[in-house]
Structure 1
């Protein structure tokens, strides 16, 4: 018979993580319902929020919903009783109000609509090694399924731009572009990285290179940032075509989506597209070599199990080895905030 657990042991961290989908779904629901956008105008009572969001007219659990968000630090609250007013925190006002340029709620909306249900099959994914997304139900791998549906494509593209914007801005602001004139962003999606680099560095001409379905999004981004004269939108398939040549080749959250064979193929293509003294920049959640500190990056690697056929995140040392095999001579890593960094490989 096992001994009774010591009174000094604390089971609540286990319980808290085990039930963290409660808090996750609460935040995802609030974002999907547009709560933080409605609160951008002025503080509201629970009754006013219920009316604006079209919640249950009985009003049951609305205050629980709002006070849970308050207790997690996503809302501020003043007053007492029925007159309590709820408002955004500085963070939710900046990042979860759809009217703000730093809005990243699109990624949370996609997580709510797609990934939340797919993660329910994580055990099956771990046992089989197979993706647990649309391919199970449609026979199409995730990108194919997303790109075939205009609504899904628009949501996915907005989500990727939203969650990557701060990292891309940090890269554009911190990387020394003085020795370069051209950049090609392979798998450029909506063209955000190219637009931010061109905006920050007027001497740079950038090319965003991706499938034809992304062209209208990329052109709209270049127009929005006022850099359409220095951002070229080029259609192509980086698996079946050479990368366009440039002084700098970038890939933002691309490499982790693929298995090792495809990773190495893309690195080799990047090497071949660069001149002597050019460089490759990978912007992703690259793991520390001990695989201990970047928890979000490790969870993102699990997300690649859910979303891809063989994709995974990797350590700094693994990246060094792969680019060395491709012919690159040196590597440095630039922290970009949170779990994201830029891995720079020089030719």
Structure 2
């Protein structure tokens, strides 16, 4: 099977063996990220094996093979005896880069990689395989720990930062007065929209421990004068305490069971002012198996949540219909997500 498209291959024994070792490729990348190797090379420039090993702590027995593995993955370039970041690594794996996904790497390395080792248990029991998924207070305790909160914020920024440019093009924001991002974390998505559309105002509705991070982030990006944070729990408050021309729920619904999604969609749609729209995006599943990456995201949700998974556009359309929406449209949102628009 082609790991990028999910299409079937006429596989030899060698192909199947290579597929069985695909986790090795991922761990090379995740370990390099954990060691800060890409950031180090960006800072110090092309370096020999010995120089790089001394700075990031590679053992002499492992260094050559480890670095050559990263070269063969296309993450490092080797010129003579010096290694440097490839163009792709510089663009995505160095803090401050436009498409930085370091938050993804941390989550994959410390949460998903161990959880996938328990996939057999997950697919036979239907239960998550991470401790936090079974502990209702674990998420709030994580937000209360500055180090863990920082890693979580980076992960969320990595996710919505890639979506924001596509969302800016997928909807006519010039006709919108204000937008509410439900579950919008520290406001990175709406901040990107505010930077692009000077006439727009924005709010984020999320848990109270994120209020300080929201204030700092929007101030740093220069949009604090047009951004407001509303603290609350979207399962506890009915209706939502704020309305807007456009309400966004991105990478939210896949965390919850189908019954909870229907409930959240109804509440979010009720917060849309007449003439506005509810924008929902996730790695929405096709009706037939055609996208391996999205299927893997859905399995991730099995491993780390009590009831979450990805869902189809038709399922989301039913939740919108139950909420009273009669005008639903769907369109791609970049390479990894789908946007579902419910107009009011």
Provide the TM-score with structure 1 as the length reference.
0.91
Q: Which has the higher contact order (CA 8 A, sep 6+)?
A: 2
User: Which residue matches 2:4?
Assistant: none
CA distance in 1, matches of 2:331, 2:214: 26
CA distance in 2, matches of 1:264, 1:334: 20
Describe the shift of the 1:339–1:99 C-alpha distance in structure 2 as closer, same or farther (beyond 3 A). closer
User: Which residue matches 2:216?
Assistant: 220
Map 1:60-79 to 2 at 5 A. 60-79=61-80
User: Which residue matches 1:310?
Assistant: 307
- Give 1:101 shift: 4.0
Deviations 1:56-93 (A, max 9, x none): 2xx112111111111111111111xxxx1111111110
- Give 1:12 shift: 2.6
**327-336 or 277-286, larger mean C-alpha shift:** 327-336
Equivalent residues, number = 332
User: Which residue matches 1:45?
Assistant: 48
- Give 1:321 shift: 1.9
Describe the shift of the 1:226–1:334 C-alpha distance in structure 2 as closer, same or farther (beyond 3 A). farther
User: Which residue matches 2:162?
Assistant: 166
1:97 corresponds, among 55, 73, 94, to 94
Describe the shift of the 1:209–1:139 C-alpha distance in structure 2 as closer, same or farther (beyond 3 A). closer
Structure 1 vs Structure 2 CA RMSD:
1.7
Map 1:22-37 to 2 at 5 A. 22-37=24-39
Residues 144, 209 of structure 2: 8 Å contact kept: no
Residues 46, 84 of structure 2: 8 Å contact kept: yes
CA distance in 2, matches of 1:170, 1:180: 17
SS in 2 for 1:143: helix
**229-238 or 317-326, larger mean C-alpha shift:** 317-326
CA distance in 1, matches of 2:298, 2:138: 16
CA distance in 1, matches of 2:135, 2:255: 18
User: Which residue matches 2:14?
Assistant: 12
- Give 1:159 shift: 0.9
SS in 1 for 2:275: coil
Residues 102, 154 of structure 2: 8 Å contact kept: no
- Give 1:148 shift: 4.3
CA distance in 2, matches of 1:9, 1:32: 33
Residues 302, 312 of structure 1: 8 Å contact kept: yes
CA distance in 2, matches of 1:115, 1:298: 15
- Give 1:335 shift: 2.0
Residues 195, 225 of structure 1: 8 Å contact kept: yes
CA distance in 2, matches of 1:190, 1:11: 48
| Structure 1 portions without partners, runs of 5+ | 1-7
**305-314 or 118-127, larger mean C-alpha shift:** 118-127
CA distance in 2, matches of 1:116, 1:53: 22
2:275 corresponds, among 264, 274, 277, to 277
Describe the shift of the 1:139–1:228 C-alpha distance in structure 2 as closer, same or farther (beyond 3 A). closer
User: Which residue matches 1:288?
Assistant: 286
SS in 1 for 2:315: helix
CA distance in 1, matches of 2:34, 2:265: 37
- Give 1:120 shift: 1.2
SS in 1 for 2:279: strand
- Give 1:260 shift: 0.7
CA distance in 1, matches of 2:15, 2:316: 34
- Give 1:142 shift: 5.3
- Give 1:20 shift: 1.1
Describe the shift of the 1:303–1:29 C-alpha distance in structure 2 as closer, same or farther (beyond 3 A). same
**106-115 or 257-266, larger mean C-alpha shift:** 106-115
Deviations 1:143-201 (A, max 9, x none): 34533433222211211111321112221244211222011100011211111111111
CA distance in 2, matches of 1:321, 1:99: 40
**Moved >6 Å (runs of 4+):** none
Matched, 1:209 2:205: yes
User: Which residue matches 2:236?
Assistant: 240
